[in-house]
Structure 1
């Protein structure tokens, strides 16, 4: 009741302020305005970075005259000019970036989306000018492309989206220049208007001792909404997308060999060759159809290494597959209710996304050769797999009646023979003033597991034969058994309410989230249920002038979490300080004081009170990254203090040290190394020492081709005598390697040839022994019709 009254008070305050404050608008001509000339006849432009074709004589020219960060709307330290014009099918841009010392320009041949930290120029475009989504295109001095989608609803930027567009750059005696062609088939926009008016910002990043952000217009730090501060661009009269039909056939071949290594057995070979076809059809400029048959969803790029040690919750891995990423933002809500890596290996998929006026609609359907999903809890979670083909559907609708208000709904469905999970959700976002943001979302699910499904989690053929009362280490029942031991259908809901007030120098925020015991989001990534959490926090920011640090923030928050039976799970207070400044540095440090429960004493009882121990912890953390020279970036992440030994349910102390180095050995050769060192100590000694090394060496031969070597090594050493309920191996090692050659004509027209292998060692295997090796090839070509 206290929390409800609290949010009622916040709403009343915000409503009053909304009546006294001006409305929040999207791109405005008062910020900046550009009239884009449109050339009706056929345009002959060779995108080579020279900017010497006659068509450029018709272009409008603007200057990026403001520095918006770290300085606040001061005169730009260097001159940057942009030229813009359009044909009926493309938008053309050129940037002339002057530099008083061209030898200091930071430019490297890198793979797409990996040139951040270089000198770059780019453009942000909100093609509906409604401050919801914006396309972002950035290019370094050599023409390396980076593109992304900025989503104001979630506050996130996703560089996973890849469009097909064209760019080239060249360094000159005065600086560098870049030439860009953006085909209109890239964009969703309303072609019913005779003249388009889009939100726009032209940007340059000028990294020296600090990273200077230059813009066509000023940015008000007293306004929390970023896309609301775009300028406007008018023109593109008669603009069309053309046919906007793309067919991408693909061929994938691999030979995989595996063997048992304890004892060592013979290799077993498996050869697989598959053909697939992807369709991308812009039915209208606002409606896009994606379809795939027998898609190749193999991971060409290895996931970053993660340590899964003294951890009770499932690890998260991001989506990287092109079919799911195209217009992914149309499905986004404040909660992670759609995580498409839960669709592991489909035979087909279809996706339709559309936006008309204030209405946005998206639907996705795909099968999967198995049913994979999370089994969540309030103290642990795990991945479950049912070996039955599943059908997966997600549908999203959003209505934006004004630039201040959005309301939407999401439906997901995952179904197999004796299993289903249906979810329906509604959400709102309201920005009554330039500083205030309310979000709220409610979701309800209906789920049914197969009979005896829970037995796969207890280590026994029949969990029912396990005693009702048992202690840690003596009971085969765990939280996953309790969460899946259901008869027939079960249902529950969750809701999240949040408020944020953000100004130039200070902010406050508050959030309340309640997740029912039987709520499930099997197409999403909700790894915790049976809890209610309240968070309140805030901070203050300084912007010093003439100082090594140009931004200092001091903040903190307090939160408390209970089970749905009002049993306290955790209470935490955190204070932190952040610095940004010279050497392109970011430094942050904090301290956490908390109380939280460990494992259940009787795993067969879901109760918390009287069944768990409350541990008191003090934990310090530190993070920094900085660039002492243009070719070298250093990073360090560390924390130390109190922890819980979850395997034995007792207090412990943890030390984690995670340094990283990015060394640009040459303009085309980059070495990334990170190492994570983690220890856990208990009263009687060191329980374990864990090491994880992740090495990536990338040689960018040209803008389109590269060779990459990656290697991830894990070593965990344990003292079995200190374990009370288990007898683990004293040593575990694994090593995974990948050597890959790639040629990318564009994100969908690719050729890959590679080799990967895996090694393992433990108490029964004296040294690292190979147990897996794979040769693979993939080629695809995007036909633009």
Structure 2
């Protein structure tokens, strides 16, 4: 094709014409400031019918992120933002040419998932795009909220914010109004020096925003209001500035907010064990106070809190492992600024999770607690002090297992962590102490750094140094008491490099945990090891597979090797190969939010020091999908082949199976029923093709939503482990049977976060320990601002 050269005179004329035209409108979302009288009259009812919405700028530059990025959205979505004196109000219009297909069930808070029609607002008031607070609202008005952390690329649904939202179903879709009080946001103070001009930003950055929309049809679309693509290092990498706020941030920085949440809990319980029968009655008055003296500071206090779990923790298989299992946090006091307190470590699947540097579930029963959190424009920090009444467990890990000890009756917990950001760099440190008195303590000092070397590369690392002067004498009894000892030093180091672009998603990770490393305010299930992980994912894009549409696909390879470090106390020599994994696999997505994955396990593992290195050969397959509006999730995962029997130190044919199903159905008078079933089972066959052990965990959950505020929830769960006796085996194996059952029935009335009333009945039974307990409780939370 012949190319034509542009005449210089014509080029000059075009430049002059362009200069004379008005500047193009910004592609960023714009906010409209409202006069005080109009702001006060604004109703949050989902209708978007006040005159202010007719004047507010409309942002509708949405893009398709899933199932395939870069495509034009099939549905129109618009966003408008109004500014009140003490809040931001978002108006979102979700157009739909088939409104009868909108999925709008009543469900529990924080259970708004991709199987529902929802919109979400992600807001970063710090402006660094390192974390963002988010709120999801489904088409029925149910909320889910939390914090998204960029470095881990995960969303944490544990934090809750006092926001107000309403929806309205329309003939061509639905609309949403979300009122987000400034008191629920965390952002830096200006810190302007004396004499600075009024227009100076003093190092502050613009607030950043992204709005998303889920449409769970055959292709299960996720639309985003920012130019986000799949090769981004994280989901909030392209948050856009929210313009039009004017001096709002400056005018409310010094405004103080106070929230008081007293709670009253009444309990009556009966229990029985081999020692006899017991009856107890208890009336507990506690309180939580949150004070934000100005924008960059938040002070939290808790006094005599009731930290019982209204919703039971999901049971996990534990019969064929010697390592401790973690459970998620649900208690409000620990959920302020989780993006600062958290750290990262490698879990068994090769993912990074926030447990190593701070694990709040290690704190069992606080009498009181204080916490201060500060956010600057380039740094953040949090400081925590608590008095723990104890009653829980202390973990002491080694290369081949985790030992659990009785926690002393009382201890003082101190924890501080801070981070500083400059361009692509982030540096941080932490101090942690658990003081049990009488010369018994555990102290940890930590340093960390991360570097965004490019738009595709992220390098991270952390070094933790511990000093532990609390030990245990195993000769005393099965659960020895803590005692003072000479301080033992320990170290925990990890380094990681991640590269993500259009074609590759790769991770390299190295970790070294010395034998005597301990962190009583963290979670350390294994020590005395060093490991190297390499993961590579080759992105292949979409297409057709046997007539099935494929939106994304990957070929995967995981290489992991773990070796022991010298540990004379547990008789472990250094350099012993503990585990090797070679796992090629695949992954792809398809219609109805479906995923399919599988890998071969060409692995080797050692069960005890000096024992045989066993060759394992397994095939793992899994799938998950949103098949129908009433069957919102159906998943299955199977591992089959030659597996390791840890206790017997041998391999055998076996399997591990996980099944999950979630159903939702609408009942008369606007009520909804949720039903969820989870079943997990594992076994390995021994000699004579008989099962050496069987491990089973079941959970059933049913929730009847009578209205958006009223619900009745029933949870039943069972765990059962059984091992067959083998007296002629080497070593001889004794028979074992562990069986537990918990049932919980809770009626709840909820008005936001500040008005919650619960009445419940719980019953638990442990057949091995011959224990059962029945408890009736009532709890009222009344919040005041």
SS of alignment partner, residue 395 of structure 2: strand
1:53 to partner: Cα distance: 2.3
Identify the range of structure 1 (115-124 vs 56-65) with the bigger mean alpha-carbon deviation. Answer: 56-65
For residues 347 and 759 of structure 1, the distance between their equivalents in structure 2, rounded to whole angstroms, comes to 28
**2:681 pairs with one of 637, 655, 677:** 677
Residue aligning to 2:700: 695
Against the structure 1 CA distance between its residues 738 and 222, is the aligned structure 2 distance closer, same or farther, given a 3 Å change threshold? closer
For residues 223 and 113 of structure 1, the distance between their equivalents in structure 2, rounded to whole angstroms, comes to 26
1:214 to partner: Cα distance: 1.1
Matches within 5 A, 1:243-642: 243-260=256-273, 267-335=277-345, 336-370=356-390, 372-402=393-423, 404-418=424-438, 419-450=440-471, 452-455=472-475, 459=478, 487-545=485-543, 548-564=549-565, 565-599=574-608, 608=609, 611-632=610-631, 633-642=633-642
1:59 to partner: Cα distance: 1.9
Residue aligning to 1:746: 752
1:352 to partner: Cα distance: 0.5
Contact persistence 1:108–1:115 (CA under 8 A): no
Contact persistence 2:459–2:497 (CA under 8 A): yes
For residues 553 and 722 of structure 1, the distance between their equivalents in structure 2, rounded to whole angstroms, comes to 48
Contact persistence 1:64–1:214 (CA under 8 A): no
SS of alignment partner, residue 323 of structure 1: helix
1:225 to partner: Cα distance: 3.8
Against the structure 1 CA distance between its residues 521 and 86, is the aligned structure 2 distance closer, same or farther, given a 3 Å change threshold? same
**2:740 pairs with one of 724, 734, 738:** 734
Q: How many aligned positions are there?
A: 714
Residue aligning to 2:765: 759
Matches within 5 A, 1:94-113: 94-113=91-110
For residues 61 and 191 of structure 1, the distance between their equivalents in structure 2, rounded to whole angstroms, comes to 29
Against the structure 1 CA distance between its residues 30 and 732, is the aligned structure 2 distance closer, same or farther, given a 3 Å change threshold? farther
1:544 to partner: Cα distance: 1.4
Against the structure 1 CA distance between its residues 377 and 37, is the aligned structure 2 distance closer, same or farther, given a 3 Å change threshold? same
1:690 to partner: Cα distance: 2.9
For residues 313 and 278 of structure 1, the distance between their equivalents in structure 2, rounded to whole angstroms, comes to 34
Contact persistence 2:727–2:734 (CA under 8 A): no
For residues 342 and 543 of structure 2, the distance between their equivalents in structure 1, rounded to whole angstroms, comes to 39
For residues 232 and 511 of structure 1, the distance between their equivalents in structure 2, rounded to whole angstroms, comes to 34
SS of alignment partner, residue 512 of structure 2: strand
For residues 637 and 56 of structure 1, the distance between their equivalents in structure 2, rounded to whole angstroms, comes to 48
For residues 542 and 263 of structure 2, the distance between their equivalents in structure 1, rounded to whole angstroms, comes to 54
1:155 to partner: Cα distance: 2.4
Contact persistence 1:593–1:618 (CA under 8 A): yes
For residues 486 and 292 of structure 1, the distance between their equivalents in structure 2, rounded to whole angstroms, comes to 30
Q: TM-score under structure 2 normalisation? A: 0.87
For residues 241 and 176 of structure 2, the distance between their equivalents in structure 1, rounded to whole angstroms, comes to 22
2:243 is equivalent to residue 228 of structure 1: no
Against the structure 1 CA distance between its residues 272 and 282, is the aligned structure 2 distance closer, same or farther, given a 3 Å change threshold? same
Against the structure 1 CA distance between its residues 31 and 312, is the aligned structure 2 distance closer, same or farther, given a 3 Å change threshold? farther
SS of alignment partner, residue 525 of structure 1: coil
Gaps of at least 5 residues in structure 2 are 1-23, 191-197, 346-355, 566-573
Residue aligning to 1:136: 134
How far does the alpha carbon of each residue in 1:497-552 deviate from its partner, in whole angstroms, 9 at most, with x for none?
11112111213221111111111111111211111111122111122157611011
SS of alignment partner, residue 612 of structure 1: coil
**1:38 pairs with one of 30, 33, 48:** 33
Matches within 5 A, 1:74-89: 74-89=71-86
SS of alignment partner, residue 103 of structure 1: helix
1:429 to partner: Cα distance: 0.6
For residues 511 and 404 of structure 2, the distance between their equivalents in structure 1, rounded to whole angstroms, comes to 23
SS of alignment partner, residue 94 of structure 1: strand
For residues 677 and 530 of structure 2, the distance between their equivalents in structure 1, rounded to whole angstroms, comes to 39
Contact persistence 2:369–2:385 (CA under 8 A): yes
Against the structure 1 CA distance between its residues 571 and 447, is the aligned structure 2 distance closer, same or farther, given a 3 Å change threshold? same
For residues 106 and 225 of structure 1, the distance between their equivalents in structure 2, rounded to whole angstroms, comes to 28
Residue aligning to 1:210: 219
SS of alignment partner, residue 210 of structure 2: strand
Residue aligning to 1:18: none
For residues 716 and 388 of structure 1, the distance between their equivalents in structure 2, rounded to whole angstroms, comes to 31
1:717 to partner: Cα distance: 3.7
Contact persistence 2:434–2:521 (CA under 8 A): yes
Contact persistence 1:154–1:332 (CA under 8 A): no
Residue aligning to 2:723: 718
Contact persistence 2:446–2:465 (CA under 8 A): yes
How far does the alpha carbon of each residue in 1:360-410 deviate from its partner, in whole angstroms, 9 at most, with x for none?
1110111111274211111100332233310001100111011x1100001
1:32 to partner: Cα distance: 4.0
Gaps of at least 5 residues in structure 1 are 1-28, 463-483, 600-607
1:658 to partner: Cα distance: 1.7
1:209 to partner: Cα distance: 0.7
For residues 419 and 159 of structure 2, the distance between their equivalents in structure 1, rounded to whole angstroms, comes to 21
Contact persistence 1:89–1:183 (CA under 8 A): yes
Against the structure 1 CA distance between its residues 217 and 760, is the aligned structure 2 distance closer, same or farther, given a 3 Å change threshold? closer
Contact persistence 1:648–1:723 (CA under 8 A): no
Contact persistence 1:64–1:202 (CA under 8 A): no
Identify the range of structure 1 (367-376 vs 233-242) with the bigger mean alpha-carbon deviation. Answer: 233-242
1:64 to partner: Cα distance: 4.5
For residues 686 and 70 of structure 2, the distance between their equivalents in structure 1, rounded to whole angstroms, comes to 54
SS of alignment partner, residue 438 of structure 1: strand
Against the structure 1 CA distance between its residues 727 and 619, is the aligned structure 2 distance closer, same or farther, given a 3 Å change threshold? closer
1:652 to partner: Cα distance: 2.5
For residues 501 and 695 of structure 2, the distance between their equivalents in structure 1, rounded to whole angstroms, comes to 43
Against the structure 1 CA distance between its residues 562 and 691, is the aligned structure 2 distance closer, same or farther, given a 3 Å change threshold? closer
2:712 is equivalent to residue 707 of structure 1: yes
How far does the alpha carbon of each residue in 1:639-682 deviate from its partner, in whole angstroms, 9 at most, with x for none?
11222222222222321222111111226101001112322211
For residues 348 and 426 of structure 1, the distance between their equivalents in structure 2, rounded to whole angstroms, comes to 28
1:732 to partner: Cα distance: 4.0
For residues 237 and 78 of structure 2, the distance between their equivalents in structure 1, rounded to whole angstroms, comes to 24
Against the structure 1 CA distance between its residues 738 and 723, is the aligned structure 2 distance closer, same or farther, given a 3 Å change threshold? farther
Matches within 5 A, 1:1-80: 32-42=27-37, 43=39, 44-80=41-77
Contact persistence 2:623–2:636 (CA under 8 A): yes
What RMSD over aligned residues (CA atoms) do the two structures have, in Å? 2.3
For residues 276 and 427 of structure 2, the distance between their equivalents in structure 1, rounded to whole angstroms, comes to 59
Contact persistence 2:643–2:655 (CA under 8 A): no
SS of alignment partner, residue 590 of structure 1: strand
SS of alignment partner, residue 197 of structure 1: coil
1:689 to partner: Cα distance: 2.4
Q: TM-score under structure 1 normalisation? A: 0.87
For residues 230 and 98 of structure 2, the distance between their equivalents in structure 1, rounded to whole angstroms, comes to 31
For residues 562 and 691 of structure 1, the distance between their equivalents in structure 2, rounded to whole angstroms, comes to 31
